[in-house]
Every structure is written in structure tokens, then in C-alpha cells.
Structure 1
Amino acid sequence: MNHSLAIVMAISDESHGLFEHAGIEVHYSGIGKVNAAFKTFEVIQKTGCHTVLNLGSAGSSVFDAHTLVEVNQFVQRDMDVSPLGFAVGVTPLDKEIPAEIQLEPYFKHLPQGICGTGDSFETGQPKVACDLVDMEGYAIAKVCKKLGVRLISVKYITDGANDTAHLDWQDNLLLGAQKLLALYQSMSHQ
């Protein structure tokens, strides 16, 4: 793989060391939007990459567990300034970056979905329409958009974003890491 691409994942639990064992560098952001934004900015500045590949886990009540889903749009499921008349998901007075950040699909064989990002582990129905939920993606997408860097994001569905999500998430991380690694290794053959 060329050095114009940098992989960003939230935590090492999502890679299970499989990427490192294969000699692939991964940048871990930590959990949440603030950590993800900071790390993504830092990675772009340090590496000079033209593409960020965000791999990780997500919950979904739309897609089946164990499915790889490419994100074609990110929204913020926890930005709520509705008491001041703004729609849920809209950052007030932010005219530079839209509330919905569109991504150009890369993996034509994967299902596409809208990912709702928020600083909470979702176990119910998000306030913003979305197909899957995570805790970092929108922040990564916003930094990439501001800096003119392409973002490709693929999420492994670990759970149904329901009341057993915390148990399912942990149980399914290893299989997710295996599938994400295989997907990454297939990129050099496309």
C-alpha cells in the first residue's frame, strides 16, 4: 500500500493486533469525537496522506451483525440545539461544513449506509435518521473535509444498537478485525 493512505481506528480492540502483526500501521484515535478529530488532524499533518481510511465497529438496527458497511454519509446524532430552532444534527452557524457529510464510495461491492456519530454508546433509536451508529466518524469526516483529504470509511456491524449491544460489541470484535484486515489487503488488488 502506498504512503498516501493512513488508517485511523478508534481503539486497538477493533484491530486485535492483526494489522500490526501483518506489518500495517494503524493510528488509534481514542474514543469519541474530540479524540478522533485531534488524532485525524495530527495524522494528516504528520503523514501528508491524501486519503484517510477509517475502519472500525458500529451498531445497527438496519444491517445484520457481521456485515461490512461502507459509509456514504456521516451525520451527528448527538448535536441537538433544537431549543434554539435548529434541526437535530445541525451545528449552529457552521456554514463551512454541512450537517450531512457525503463520501464518495470506494468499495462498490459493499452495502452503503448513513452513519450517525455521537459521544454516547447508542442502545436505542437515534434522533437523526441513520443506518448505523459510531462514536468517531463524523469528526474524522469533518477534519478530512476541512483539509481536503479523501475519507473512506468501512464499519463492521458488531451489534444491533439495542439493550445487549455492549455484550455483542465485545464478543464480535475479533471477527470484525479479521474481516476489516482482509478488506484492507484486497485494496491493493483493485
Structure 2
Amino acid sequence: MALPHESQGVFEGENIPVHYTGIGKVNAALTAMDVIHKTKCKVIINLGTAGSSKFKTHDLVEVSSFVQRDMDITPLGFKVGETPFDPIPGVIDLIPYFSELPHGVCSTGDNFETGTPRLPCDLVDMEGYAIAKVCRKMGVQLISLKYITDGADHNAHNDWAANLLPGAKKLLTFYKKMIASEDGAPA
């Protein structure tokens, strides 16, 4: 998760360790790399909040792809979201985990989006693409669930804060399902 605000203490209350990235792509990339190096993990589970003009507030969405909305080298002939001369693409597809959840394309950028993103997407965040890029580079699977806290509009900052606790509870429920199914117990 990006911030302790997003867990609202519910994960800690269940003695579930959480790695907080901090806000933005650089912080997220550094934390993802650090976690992978220290734990030698094969899977990272990215849980967090997002805004969306497509999904309803309180929906839980599994990210099917990440794009980065603030990489713009168009004056040099590159597409928005494409990092020049980078072997990792501007669109990073993930392997679906939950069939019962809706899936969507998440646009990541170092801004709190309150308008129409420049790249087609279903939801917006500030860290996901960076985590996905590190995972792709390091050969680690990424599963990303986002709780929709707001409509990515003019009132997004108020809605985000008001919807953190129900989001944390819903994310915890699906985290427990994921862990139970990995342990061989019924989900």
C-alpha cells in the first residue's frame, strides 16, 4: 500500500505485515525493489485505493493492465506513456487472479488525477505502474487490487478520505481469500 491511511490499521490489527511505498512512482519503485531484494518473493500483492469515472465508489477492481499517464515525450515522436528506448512497454499486462472481480486498466501518474487522463483507462492511481515495472524487470508476479474511493473528479480529495475505512476492510477480505487459497484452505 502507499500509505498507512489506506490500511486504516485493519491489516496491522490482524498482524499482517504491510510495506508502505509512500506516494508516487519513485517511492513505489524503490520500495518494490527493496521488498523483492530482501524477501526474495515470487509475488507482490499491491492493495490500495484508486479513483474512477467508470467504476462505482466502493467497487473493488483487479487491475488487468497498468499504463503511466505522465510520461510524455511526444515532441520527440513517442506516444504518451511510452518511455523512449526502454525494453519494458508503456502498457504492462497482469495475469488475472480473481474471476469474480471486475478488471480494469489503471493509469498511474505523479499527480492526484481529477480530470480526464490522457491515456484510455478505467481507474487512476499514483504508484501501480512503477510497482508493475519493477516486478516485470525482476520476474515477480504482481496482483493488484484497487478499492474505488472516488470518481477522480473535483471532489476526489474529500471522497478519498471518507472512504478509506470501508476500502481497507474490503481489501482485507480479499487478501484473506487470496492467502487462504494459496495455503490450500477453502477461500
Give the TM-score band, short-chain normalised: over 0.9
Q: Which residue of 2 aligns with 1:151?
A: 142
- Report % sequence identity: 63
Query: d(CA) in 1 for partners of 2:148 and 2:174?
Result: 14
Q: Equivalent residue of 1:163, what SS?
A: coil
Q: Which residue of 1 aligns with 2:183?
A: none
**How far apart are 1:89 and its partner, in Å?**
0.7
AA matched with 1:66: H
**How far apart are 1:148 and its partner, in Å?**
0.2
Of 90, 93, 100 in structure 1, the residue corresponding to residue 85 of structure 2 is 93
Gaps of 5+ in 2: 181-185
Name the TM-score, length of structure 1 as normaliser: 0.94
Of 68, 82, 85 in structure 2, the residue corresponding to residue 76 of structure 1 is 68
Q: Which residue of 2 aligns with 1:4?
A: none
The answer to whether residue 111 in structure 2 is matched with residue 129 in structure 1 is: no
Q: CA RMSD in A?
A: 0.6
In the TM superposition, structure 1's runs of 4+ consecutive aligned residues that sit over 3 Å from their partners are none
Q: Deviations over 1:19-68 (max 9, x none)?
A: 01101010000000000000000001111111000000000000000000
Name the TM-score, length of structure 2 as normaliser: 0.96
Query: d(CA) in 2 for partners of 1:23 and 1:122?
Result: 32
Q: Which residue of 2 aligns with 1:175?
A: 166
Q: Deviations over 1:55-93 (max 9, x none)?
A: 000000000000000000000011111111111111111
Query: d(CA) in 2 for partners of 1:184 and 1:112?
Result: 16
Q: Which residue of 2 aligns with 1:45?
A: 37
